[in-house]
Chain A
Amino acid sequence: MLSFLPLSDLRVAKIMTIPFSLAQQVRSIRMLLGLSVLTMLVACGGSEDSGGSGGLTRVQQGNLDGVLHFGNGVEPEGLDPHIVTGVSENKIVSALFEGLVVKNPVTLEVEPGVAESWDISEDGTVYTFNLRENSLWSNGDTVTAHDFVWSWQRILTPELGAQYNYNLFAVENAERFANGELSDFSLVGVTALDDFTLQVQLRSPTPYFLQLLDHYSTFPVHRPTIEEFGGMSNRLSQWARPGNLVGNGPFTLTEWQINSHLRVEKFDDYWDADKIRLNAVVFYPTENIVTEDRMYRDGQLHRTQEILLDRIPGYREERPEEVNVEPWLGSYFYMFNTNKPPFDDIRVRKAMAMAIDRELLVDSILQGIFEPSYSLVPPDTLGYFPPKTFSYDPEQARQLLAEAGFPNGEGFPAFDVLYNTHEDHRRLAVALQQMWASELNIPAQLLNQEWKVYLENQDNMNYEVSRRGWIGDYVDPNTFLDMYITDGGNNKTGFSHPRYDEIILEEAPRTLDRDARYELYQEAETLLMESMSILPIYTYSTKHLIHPSVHGLTPNIMDYTNLRYVWLEPEASVESAAE
């Protein structure tokens, strides 16, 4: 009948001509619909019985049970105090272990930890610690001075490859032992005089030594456990896992599912257990700030590790008492490769530093939450204030650049500004590029590299100008200033000054009086800033959302948390839930 049509048209014609009854069609659709809804239900389970609408949120439930839900940034790489290096590990390791001293979360001065008291010799080189007799390991053993000797031997053992072993290099002979120049550990200056007396001999008075004893690299570890799981210098040991880990801190490890959560519970035999008011803390890895923000708003977290920069103004309107923005012991700066022309000319470096309007940067692209900085060490580092050697002065900047042979930027070569790939770094680099172009007429080009590539290029001094950040390990100017000793591993700028080296390596460690020492550091920092090998931009701030039911998460410049002092007040949270 339709044979005159070509084949393709024939098909279309058939489809069009076959009559479909509407009822038939509806029936078949309904059937398919039913099937697929069924599939969805089987697949996903009933969604009605989950959600947050009916029951309590995790935060509300936590307030009733005394369980703190803690957003902790990146997933901890491990929990071995001698191996880990990160910030997120620090919070957990400090809950599971305790050093000779602990820091007061308000003043950051040291307080008794495992050591009840200590004596320091007149010349500041011999520390004698009296350990409390009721400090226990979580398996019931007593923490003794021998534990500390063995633990310090462990972190200094060359084969372990502990990145933070240098924290103990102030101890007599420790550095030589760690470098393999000395194999007899009994020559290293740490001795157990008896079970509860530990004596430490320093190679030179190190005024910030007590501060280091609250760093996890100096924590004691449980010898029988480590020996059971592969021995002293085995990095791949399983000892720091739930079920195996034995610690001496206020909490014990009960659960750790990687990339999901890590739970610690109150240690009832901890020497100060009566004062611990939390029953448990659950740490969540929250690498994705956006996800963390949603978790907080959904009532899954008591505390976030970060706040999205762009959300801060909104939250300040909406829930000001939950926004915690505080100064942090960290500096954001750029550094120059002082070996490469034209950055080998101090006038060029100064001109570039003076051409930047830091106040404007902070107010515009940084939401006003960071402090503009003109030096390396953050202000008020345990009473230390850095010198201010220059200020925003585009007029003088242009003059300096002209003196260096580039009047109005003429002849200035194009140069790369290196930063690791991240939106925040890019935004800042663009702003600096603009400021340098408009004030000095010099052509900066942006060069972003993936983290490890960026690190390698910095290490090899294969850059011209580069972004850099530094967070202090302990509260003392030295944690920043010792970066810039000649050929120091973290220097990476080519900065070298004999007087600077003398202060940092010789004079300051010998000066016991804090004020006198800070004067020396001021002198050193002035030298550093007058060479302008680094270009300070701002001082970091920590940014946390903290639920109103949480108390005792005291802000401090180290962002240091002592969970022993934290408690939850359910009443407050019921009120806020009712709002």
Chain B
Amino acid sequence: MWRFIAIRTLQAIPVIFVVITVTFFLVRAAPGGPFDDEKAVSAQVQAALEAQYRLDLPMHEQYFAYLGDLFRGDMGPSFNYPGRSVNELIFQGLPITAELGFYAMLVAVGIGVLAGVIASLRPNTAQDYVPMSLAMVGICMPSFLLGPLLVLVFGIWLDVVPVSGWGSTPGEKVLPSITLGAMYAAYIARLSRSGMLEVLSQDYLRTARAKGLPERVVIIKHALRAGLLPVISYLGPAFAGLLSGSFVVETVFQIPGLGRFYVQAAFNRDYTMILGTTTLLATLIVVFNLLSDFLAAWLNPRLRYQFQKGGK
């Protein structure tokens, strides 16, 4: 299995390299440049600006210079925020986005697993239809609608949580976490329902019940462990999705996270920032997918056996 992990990891590196290269040339091919503004810039100023950011070099030299810097861990200066480096901006935004993503994940797993399990215990009854219909609503409702709706009800009418911000009071984190987690909760609910249905019909559960175990133990100890496998393999991609997809929630709730940099950078043609955030998110997505593969292999003996065979 170790060999398998090593091979999978090595396969991931070229993927990231291709993402960097494609992004580098694609952003430069986009019309308009980082210094275009409504007010015209004189030719001299434009030339001076390009020189400060090495844009006056031939394209391939810029590319290799960028790769060299990246290899040393330097993602360059931001075009849009003079005096700030991309490293600094990312490492300021990433922990906040990761924290938000973590809470959203807890919300998603908490609500999703609960709803899925409840639904699976009595399939095709009201106990199934109600949570599953809610899950459908959750999947369909975009966060730019759900967020303001929650704010209106809990922030303004009931006035129990602040409407925006991050970091000054714990209450500020409630609504953004729920908003961001809702869609994932819905997916997880559906996944855990089908996973549980699959498992509940298995012989070993009948054996468990037959030897007189209380239903609680049967469900939680025996059924959940196997029934939630699909959920676990979904968690990796889901977390990567939470990190890269938090832009809307960050905008609605005025959260200083990474998602806003990611989107603003594209509009501003902030070349280094686009490259930095894209590279980082691509890396995270690859890494989380790898991790969830490894985790699934570790939890599921059948997969593990396959891996061992593949390793030989």
State the A residues within 8 Å of B (CB): 11-12, 14-15, 18, 20-21, 24-25, 27-29, 31-33, 35-36, 39-40, 42-53, 77-78, 80, 83, 85, 158-163, 165-166, 178-180, 235-241, 257-260, 284-288, 290-291, 294-295, 297-298, 300, 450-453, 455-457, 459, 469-470, 488-490
Contact = CB atoms under 8 A, between A and B. Distances in A.
Contacts of B165: 260, 300
Interface string B15-35: 000000000000000111101
Interface string B167-184: 101111110010000000
B134 interface: no
B215 A24 contact: yes
B186 interface: no
Contacts of A295: 163-164, 254
Interface residue tally on B, bucketed by range: 35 or more
A86 to B, nearest CB: 9
Q: Residue among B51, B77, B170 with the most chain A CB within 10 A?
A: B170
27 contacts: A18-B209, A25-B122, A28-B121, A32-B113, A33-B114, A40-B107, A43-B177, A44-B174, A47-B160, A47-B161, A49-B169, A51-B162, A53-B159, A77-B82, A78-B83, A85-B37, A85-B39, A161-B48, A162-B45, A163-B41, A236-B52, A258-B81, A291-B163, A291-B254, A294-B151, A294-B163, A298-B162
B31 A258 contact: no
Given A32-B114, A452-B31, A455-B37, A43 B163 contact: no
A259 B219 CA distance: 46
A32 B120 CA distance: 13
Given A51-B171, A452-B31, A452-B32, A258 B83 contact: no
Contact of A450 (B123, B253, B267): B267
B166 interface: yes
B267 A52 contact: no
A52 B171 CA distance: 10
A39 B106 contact: yes
A258 B48 contact: no
A15 B201 contact: yes
Interface of B: 30-33, 35-42, 44-49, 51-52, 77, 80-84, 89, 92-93, 103, 106-107, 109-111, 113-114, 117-118, 121-123, 148, 151, 155-156, 159-167, 169-174, 177, 197, 200-201, 206, 209, 214-216, 219-220, 251-257, 260-261, 267-269
Contact of A161 (B52, B148, B169): B52
A386 B171 CA distance: 53
Q: Secondary structure at chain B's binding surface: helix, strand, loop or mixed?
A: helix
Contacts of B40: 459, 488-490
B118 A78 contact: no
Contacts of A43: 103, 106-107, 110, 177
A44 B111 CA distance: 14
Contacts of A166: 42
A163 B39 contact: yes
Given A32-B117, A40-B107, A300 B162 contact: yes
Nearest to A297: B156
